Structure formats: C-alpha cells, structure tokens
Structure 1
Amino acid sequence: MDQLGKVKSFIKEHRLLAGGETVVVAVSGGPDSLCLLHMLSRALPELKLNIVVAHLNHCLRPEAVEEASFVEKIAVDWSLPFEMKAIDIRALKSERRISEEEAGRLARYNLFREVAAKYHATAIVLGHHLDDQAETVLLNIIRGTGVDGLAGILPCRYEDGLKFLRPLLCLTRKEIEAYCTTKGLQPCTDSSNLETNYTRNKLRLELIPRLESEFNPRIRESLSGLASLALKDRLFMENMTERYSLRLMRGGGNKTAVERDALMVLPEALRGRVLRRILEKSGLTEAPGREHTEALLGTLKEGRRGWIYTLPGAVHIYHDGRFLRFFKKVEPQQLSSARIQLVLPGRTVIPGKGSVTARIVKPDQLTWPPPSCLAYLDYDKIVHKKLAIRFRWTGARFHPQGASGSKKLKKFFIDQKIPAPERSSVPLLTAGGEIIWIVGKRIAHPYRITKETERVLLLEYRVFKKRRFKR
C-alpha cells in the first residue's frame, strides 16, 4: 500500500474525518506538514475539506521569515486561506519561565485555536508521524509512565470543543520524504532539528540510531506498535473511568463528594483514575498527578476521618466517616464579617446560597409541623432588634430549640453531623447579635412559638437551583 493509501485507511480506522469539515492545517513548511497539506487539499478531494493554513514564525532563526513567505506562497498557489503570526519564543520562555520547547508549543497551539475560532473550524490537523510517535513513547518510558503514556500521541484528541487530528501517524519520516519527492514538493529544512541541545533531538539523532544498530533495526515500528496496543487499553480504561465517575460522583463544585467505600471497592487500576476524573469534573482543580493520587489513596486505606489531604490549588479533602468531600476552603474571615440586613416583609438574597422570604402572620395561619425550610419565631420577642443574616464567627453560641441551655455553635454543628467544610458557609439569622435561626436547620429555643404568641415571624428559605444549559 502506498503512502496515500495508508493515510486513507488510517483516517477511516480512527474516524478522523467524515468529509466536508472546516479544518485548520498546521504548516511549518517542513516535509511532514507539506505532505499533510498536499494530501488533504490535493490528493483527497473526496473529503471536500475547507482548509485554512496556519503558520507560526517562532523568531528563532534568520530563515524563519523566508519559511513564512514560502508557506504563504503555497497557500496562495493552492487557493487556501492563510493565517500567520510571529512570536518571540525566547521572550515568551523568559516571561513564563518555561523551556523553549514548551514556549513554542504553547504559542503554536494558541495560534491554532485563534484561527479555528475565526473560521469556525471543528478540527486542527497536525503532521506528527510514526517517528514522532516512537520518540514520544521512548521519552515517556525514560521519564516514567503508565499505560496512558505508552499510548503516546493520540490519533484524535478532544480539547476545548476542538479535535486535534494526526493522520500521518501511520507513515515514517522516510515515507513522507519519498512522497514529497514523488509529488515534486520542495519543503524547507529546519536547521534546529539537527541541534542536540533539545531532548527530543538527542533521542532522534543519538539514542534511536544506536538502538537500531545494536538492538532492534525496527525499533521505531516496534515502539509505534506498542503505542497502538496501549491506545486500545487506554480507551477501554477511559470508558470505564467515565462510567464509574458518573456513578459515584455526588454534587459538584464545593459540594462534590464520593462515598469512600464505593471508591475503595473498585479494582486498584481504576481507583486512581476515577478519583482524578471526579476532581476534574468538580471544577475545583485539574486532575492531580500520580504522586498526589497515590498518597491520597494510601491515606484512604487507613480509614482516617476529618481533614485527610490537601491538593495543589488549596483543594481540601475531608472524610466525614462515609463520604469524601472536596472543596476549596473558605477562609472564616471572608464570611464572618458579612452581614445582610433581613428585608421584612420581603425577600432577602444570600449570594451564592439562596433567599429568605419573611412575613408576619397569626399563629392560626401556621401548618404543623413545619418543614426544615420554614421557621416560626415569636415576632414580639425580636421586634425591636436588628435582624441580619451572618455566618459563623469566633465564640458564637446557640440555644437550640428543646435544649436546656446554649452551647458553642461548633458543638451544635458537630452534633448535627454538619461536615466541617460546610460550617463556615451555613447562614445564621441573628437578632441583635444573637443567633435565632440556623437557616434550614433549627430555631433558637427562647424565640419559639408558645401559647402567649400573638404574632409570628414566618421565614422560608429557598436554595438556589443550578441552571442547566442545553448543549
């Protein structure tokens, strides 16, 4: 099978392109990207793609300006839209304090996304090939990797609503160069590919040739084959991870929770993946790395309660005996100083929480027993006091209905099994600084309804519902 036949088969096998899409093709001017652009725009007309050519000038080499002009001429000659940007990669490297390779990749992908947004493209097509795949797998092994890393470069990856496609992963560099020769294409040569001060170039120019000569003359194909096998395992594990994370995850954001026993009963190979996926879905943080995941799972095996772990990004994990709760801890001083005057009669909004509606009624208008969202208070006992919504403060005390006296608010929260992560954000209705209702939980005993009550302050708490947007 010739090069074009291989690429057609690869596209079909991995369902990369259906036909008729608008795509951004990344073109540096080298053999790989020029071969890719020729195949998609000239040799595969049946795909009927709307192609936009994108090129980044890294401002690293004197010949970079000529290369940009070369790519632009190709695009014009082949009647394709062309987008180019010049970015000083060395300056970006210093600004972000990252390597030159990372800075170049960041700049390129930012450009591709910008162009995709401008032209409403659904995919970005890149020229990575079989040799790149072999180098990536070998580099991942050297650095230490799991199954996902052995899968190397994915033929198709989804990110931010875009597909990143690599249809040349089935071709070696030699096959690509032969295609360019056959089609009369004259690509540019990037002199930086011959420098060994880049890790990947050292692999390409020194390590892989030695492995070929001394151990396996087909090491590139072997590593690429390993990636293909690992990809199947990775896709299976990702499918199982998604299934179990959806099944086990409760809530979202600062209300994210997962039942500890349900997580720990999963096969060990799935536990870490499911935990990372749940954290991703929570929106609190990116998925933690292997070191943090293993440390957290080790702590879970011990069955400890209370605060058990803190992840990067100030994401705290609390075990209440049954559930693991994930949240970004709210500093007490952020809420303890907040005071929201109660609107009476009327509706008081508690930002991010809900609303309290207050009105004055007669005792015979009440329905018993009241649900937890309602509170009945003797209005004449608080009529001359300032009513306000507050949050927990140091030294706060509360006299629960039915109790013989007051207790520390913290002790009440513990008795009610309110998880520590949630305590600082529980709204409290106060009268002259005294807690008269822990909103949605319990009223204060001195302000309960009695036979002598003539007017009732009726309060209704409604939690804000999360909006669901149609996709």
Structure 2
Amino acid sequence: MELVQNVEKTIKEKHLFEAGEKIIVALSGGPDSMAMLHILHTLSSKWNFKLIAVHINHQFRGIEADQEEMLVHQWCNDLQVPCEIGKIDVPAYIEQTGKNAQAAAREKRYEFLFQIAEQYGSRKITLAHHADDQAETILMRLIRGTGPEGLTGISMRRMENKMQLIRPLLRIYKSEILTYCHQNHLKFTQDSSNQQKKYFRNEIRLDVIPYLKQYNQKLEKSLNRLSEMMTEEQSYLEQETNRYFKEIIKKNNNGFYFSRKTFISLHIALQRRLIKLILSYLCSDPYSFEYKIIEMCRVAIEQNSTSTMHLDVSEQIFFIREYDQVGFSNQKMNQDLSFSYKIEENTKQLEVFEANVLFEFAEQLVSKVDLDILIKGRLNSEVIFDMNQLFFPLSIRNRKLGDRMQIKGLNGTKKVKDIFIDEKIPPSKREKIPLLVDAKQQVLWIPGIRVSSHAEMEEKTSRILHIQYKNSIL
C-alpha cells in the first residue's frame, strides 16, 4: 500500500482532487493506466471518488487493440467502474488530414475524452504519465533545443479546453508501477508499438537513456529533479512577468504598447517573457514563435542605433517602435491616410474626424491693447493670425510630400518631416496630424507643435483670426 499512500500524499499536497469528485480515468490497458485506476479505486472508499474509465481503440494494431479493449472492459466490470469505449478510425483520419500518426491519435483521443467528461459532468481527466515519461520528455527537449520553460517537462496539472488534465503518477517510476501491478495481480497489455524505434520517444527510452546511464545511474531521478526545480522557478518568473505586465503594459484597440525606457530597465529574462506573454495574447499559437523571433523583437527594442522601427513579426502581428513607445499590434500601420477640409472666412467650427480634433474659428476686431494681451496670454492650443494677411480659403489637411514651413526666427524654411522628427512625433501619428495651410499651400500652423511667421500680428493689425483646437491626437 506504500504506492497508494505516496499517490494520496501527492493528491493532498498538490490539491489534485476533492472528496466526492467525478474523475475521468484515461485507461489504455497498459500497466501505468491499469495501476492508476486501481489506486484511485482503492482511494475512492475514503475520498468517495466517482470514477469513469475511458478507453480508446485507435484501430492501429488490429487484433492486439481488440484484445486490449476486451481486457479493459473486463477490468472495469470487476471493479464496477463505468467504462466508455471509443472506436476511432485514426488511420482513416490520418489519410484524410495528412497529419502524423502521433498527432492525429492524440487529437482524436483527447476529443473523445473531453466528450465523455462533458457527458458525465466532470472537469477532471487523469492521465497515467509517470516519472520515466517525465525524464524522457526533458531529455527529448534538451536534444531538440529548449528554454527554461521546456525544462519544466510534463505538468502535473494543466488546463486544456476548460478541462483539468491531471497526472497523479508523475512522481512514480515505472519500476514501482510494475511492482505494484505484480503485487496486486493486475492484468495489463504491452503496446507493441512502444518497441518501434521510428518514434523519437522510443529511441530515447530504448537507446539514449541506457547509454547515458553509463555516466549517471540515477539519470531519470536527476532529470526529474531538474523538472521539479525548473517548475518552481518557472512559477516564480511567471508571477513576476504577470506583475510587470500589469504595471507597465497598456492595451489599446489593436494590441499592446509600453515605454521602451521602462522595458530596458528590466532583467533580460523578464524582457523575453513579457514579449512572449504579449504574443500569447495576440496569437492563438504562441508556441509558434521561436526564440529567435522573441530575441529579434527584444534587440529591436533595446538597440540605440535607431529611434523608430517597424517589423512584421508574423502575418498577423506587427511590431512598432516609435521613440519611447513600443507596440505589438494585430493591425498594420496605415500609411495611406489622406484628408483635407476647406475653411472659408465665415467658418465657425470644423471637426476633423481623422485626427479626432475639433477646431473653432473666431474673427474679431482688436486694438493695440488687445494685441499685447493676446500675444502674452496665448496658449499652445490656440493661434492668432492677422486676418488681412491671410490668403483664403484656408485648409486643414494632413501632410504632403515636400511640405515646408517658414518658422519665425529662422532664415528660409524647414521641412515638415524634419519638424516631426525633431519633435519626436511617432511615425504612426504623423499622417493624422492636421496642418493649417493657406490658399498658396503655405503651412501656417501645426497645432501644438509650430506656428509659421506668415500673417503674424503686427502693431497695425486690426482684424484677427483666433483658432483653437480640442482633443488633440498628440
């Protein structure tokens, strides 16, 4: 009963089950799952578990699979545990979809398990992965290449399709399971495909691990210990990543954005994890982003050689860096925006929807005293021109190639493009910024940024045009 006690200890420590729960038990017929059902059945007298066994015949192995199905059905009858059998023609599904055998079998197997769980009103499915499976998984990932997250291995509990997948035997070794089966006279089958070296996992189990054990007889335990340590460290780093995500990452309609200065002050490990977390929100399959993609984005944020940058992370995700603001979006920046509105002398108000700006115009007569007050008290959100020096109709439009502005105090003119760069206006906002131009297409005003020297108020000015704006995009 020592193995039963060890499993119960894990259940309590990790809070895997509650008393009286309905539990779906994936039952293959092999020693691992047959032992798992027996252990949970033994504990059910104390925990009042309601067990439902589920067996899937993938129809890969002909008579062998049918015999396995019969054994499972008889075993469940002996224990008086309900047993649901699924016969799935996986070979036909492979031919239809072109998927590899292991991926196709897993997809159809889980589909049936979820279906039965829903039918019985259960939210927990137990799987019989054990400590040797864990060691194989860690080694496989090391050989193929993995990061710290991959070294956590198989999780004892995780959510998939709103179901909890639970592995109560993950700390138990295969040798312990086989001993338990023999002690309790449990019948089981051996899947012949487990000896086929065409599967990478089988090669690891049959060849690689025995070879490496020449150098470390406790290799499996070492790999499991690594998994335990990395799981705890991963948990801590996830907490820290989520904390910083809430603190520094902002959300808008198209994606997420944050301050570059704040981001680069974080440890490099948190930088990578934050990028990966953002991608997970923008993409249904975040695992499709390899290390090199995440690192490309991180370096693009960190480097000082440029202040603005746009990258296509994938077909659906776009990276934007504009001075201190960095963003990941599902929408590519619109470079083709164009708008233009005419302003006559009697125009009182104009709303520029593209820029989310409301302009108000007021023509008035002024005295010299009024001029002094207006000049000194003018706000950044307003401008005043000498009405008699303006060439109507005026226009409010976005910038055009070659736009230049004559700025007071400067000889000659300056490109509007260079003004935007000097003011560190993000490229994604430049097309939305409204410009006030006259009938000669001279740029008079870039609201909130620059005023030209055209139509300036003078001592002889008697009539002015007072313009104000609200709700700037800047």
Quick one: distance in 2 between partners of 1:26 and 1:120? 16
Aligned to 1:170: 171
Quick one: distance in 1 between partners of 2:51 and 2:418? 66
Quick one: distance in 1 between partners of 2:95 and 2:235? 34
Match runs of 1:24-423 below 5 Å: 24-63=24-63, 64-76=65-77, 78-89=80-91, 91-92=93-94, 95=97, 97-212=98-213, 214-252=214-252, 254-282=254-282, 286=286, 288-305=289-306, 306-330=308-332, 419-421=426-428
* % same residue: 29
Aligned to 1:389: none
Measured at CA, do residues 32 and 420 of structure 1 come closer, stay the same or move farther in structure 2, by a change above 3 Å? Answer: farther
Relative to structure 2, which stretch is displaced further, 285-294 or 203-212?
285-294
> 1:277 offset after TM fit, Å?
1.2
Measured at CA, do residues 176 and 277 of structure 1 come closer, stay the same or move farther in structure 2, by a change above 3 Å? Answer: same
Aligned to 1:465: none
Quick one: distance in 2 between partners of 1:308 and 1:302? 14
- One-letter identity of the residue aligned with 2:324: R
Q: Secondary structure at the match of 2:254?
A: helix
- One-letter identity of the residue aligned with 1:113: F
Measured at CA, do residues 198 and 160 of structure 1 come closer, stay the same or move farther in structure 2, by a change above 3 Å? Answer: same
Q: Secondary structure at the match of 2:168?
A: coil
Q: Secondary structure at the match of 1:33?
A: helix
TM-score by length of 1: 0.71
Aligned to 2:5: 5
> 1:421 offset after TM fit, Å?
4.7
1:137-172 Cα shifts (integer Å, max 9, x gaps): 111121222322222111122334332211101211
TM-score by length of 2: 0.71
Measured at CA, do residues 112 and 414 of structure 1 come closer, stay the same or move farther in structure 2, by a change above 3 Å? Answer: farther
User: Would you say how many aligned residue pairs link Structure 1 and Structure 2?
Assistant: 443
**Bigger radius of gyration, 1 or 2?**
2
- One-letter identity of the residue aligned with 1:22: K
8 Å CA contact retained: 2:41, 2:51: yes
Quick one: distance in 2 between partners of 1:427 and 1:59? 65
Measured at CA, do residues 261 and 276 of structure 1 come closer, stay the same or move farther in structure 2, by a change above 3 Å? Answer: same
8 Å CA contact retained: 1:285, 1:313: no
Measured at CA, do residues 73 and 209 of structure 1 come closer, stay the same or move farther in structure 2, by a change above 3 Å? Answer: same
Q: Secondary structure at the match of 1:256?
A: strand
> 1:248 offset after TM fit, Å?
1.7
1:76-114 Cα shifts (integer Å, max 9, x gaps): 55232525240424643772x543222222332333333
- One-letter identity of the residue aligned with 1:315: I
Measured at CA, do residues 196 and 411 of structure 1 come closer, stay the same or move farther in structure 2, by a change above 3 Å? Answer: same
Measured at CA, do residues 242 and 91 of structure 1 come closer, stay the same or move farther in structure 2, by a change above 3 Å? Answer: same
1:331-357 Cα shifts (integer Å, max 9, x gaps): 859x979xxxxxxxxxxx99xxxx99x
For structure 2, the 5+ residue unaligned runs are 339-352, 358-377, 382-397, 406-413, 435-446, 450-462, 464-469
> 1:236 offset after TM fit, Å?
1.5
> 1:192 offset after TM fit, Å?
0.3
8 Å CA contact retained: 1:60, 1:90: no
Relative to structure 2, which stretch is displaced further, 253-262 or 74-83?
74-83
- One-letter identity of the residue aligned with 1:100: A
8 Å CA contact retained: 2:90, 2:108: no
- One-letter identity of the residue aligned with 1:23: I
Measured at CA, do residues 413 and 52 of structure 1 come closer, stay the same or move farther in structure 2, by a change above 3 Å? Answer: farther
> 1:15 offset after TM fit, Å?
2.0
Quick one: distance in 1 between partners of 2:134 and 2:96? 29
Relative to structure 2, which stretch is displaced further, 294-303 or 65-74?
65-74
